[in-house]
Structure 1
Amino acid sequence: MDYTWMMVELDRELFGALAGFLVIAALAFAFWLEYRRSGHEPLNRGALRRLLERDDA
């Protein structure tokens, strides 16, 4: 019995999943670069404390 069609379908699904993963990874990397470029500091305890202590009234 010839199973080459199953291998073609499996390859198509694997490449589709890989392409989807690469698209999501590229978007995440682009957002991370924009976040770093905009000068935001990570929300650590010090940054969170400064945000909570800030009086905008």
Structure 2
Amino acid sequence: MTTLFYPPLFSALVFEPPQIVDLITSLVVALAVGQLAGKLRRQMVQATEGERTIRRIY
């Protein structure tokens, strides 16, 4: 989060409009990456289950 590097240092308090924009942007990016990571994990679990099924068949 870039807001941590504005004065006062290492504070999550937001005082100026650019800091609010940075905070919102960081939040949107974090939520999007979290959703993509969750989707990738679900696909990985499905692929692993499919591999196990194929191994049992053969």
Gaps (5+ residues) in structure 1?
Answer: 41-57
Aligned alpha-carbon RMSD (Å): 1.5
Q: TM-score, normalised by structure 2?
A: 0.64
Give the greater-gyration-radius structure (CA). 1
Q: Which runs of 4+ in 1 moved over 4 A?
A: none
Q: TM-score, normalised by structure 1?
A: 0.65
Identity of counterpart residues, as a percentage?
8
- Whether 1:3 aligns to 2:22 is no
Higher relative contact order structure (alpha carbons within 8 Å, sequence separation ≥ 6): 2
The equivalent of 2:35 in structure 1 is 20
Counterparts of 2:17 and 2:39, CA distance in 1: 36
The residue correspondences of 1:31-46 to structure 2 (distance < 5 A) are 31-39=46-54
Task: Tell me the number of residue pairs that the alignment of Structure 1 and Structure 2 aligns.
Answer: 40
